[in-house]
Amino acid sequence: MNTSLRASAHVSHKGWYSINWNTIQQYVTKLRQRIYRAEQQNQRRRVRKLQRLLLRSKANLLLSIRRVTQQNTGKQTPGVDGYTASKPSERIKLYQQLLKRNIFSIAQSQRNERLSLRRMGN
């Protein structure tokens, strides 16, 4: 793999419009292609690791926020929480909130709660 052409997942938080979306899209696309190739070659462990990398990727999170708040036809329709991020500053704020709410730390805390409930039941 030619690392000199590899896109970086590093994102500057100076402004929503200062983000280089082509670089972000290229990084996520290449990661998805790597997952596909690993699956075709039956490399299960590599697929899991790459999927984990994609789920934890800041670039993927930014791309998802952009897709939901700018590109989708339902971008003006609020979700279950009644929130829409129509301004660039709101999108950056949403990105920072989602970074703090790590799905993996939430899943870990739920597992710990279940284990403690099982121990109390015995």
- Token pair belonging to 29: 């696309």
User: Cα–Cα–Cα angle for 79, 91, 5, nearest 5°?
Assistant: 120
Residue 121's pLDDT is 66
User: C-alpha distances in angstroms, 79 versus 27, 74, 82, 102, 109?
Assistant: 28, 9, 5, 20, 26
Give me the mean pLDDT over the 42-56 stretch.
95
Q: Which residues contact 96 (CB under 8 A, 6 or more apart)?
A: 13
Tell me which residue has tokens 């989708």: 72
83 or 40, higher pLDDT:
40
Residue 3's pLDDT is 44
Tell me how far apart the alpha carbons of residues 104 and 91 are, in angstroms, rounded to a whole number. Answer: 22
Give me the mean pLDDT over the 87-109 stretch.
79
Are residues 11 and 61 in contact, defined by beta-carbon separation less than 8 angstroms? no
- Report the 10 Å Cβ neighbour count for 58: 15
Residue 115's pLDDT is 72
Q: How confident is the model at residue 4 (pLDDT cuts 50, 70, 90)?
A: very low
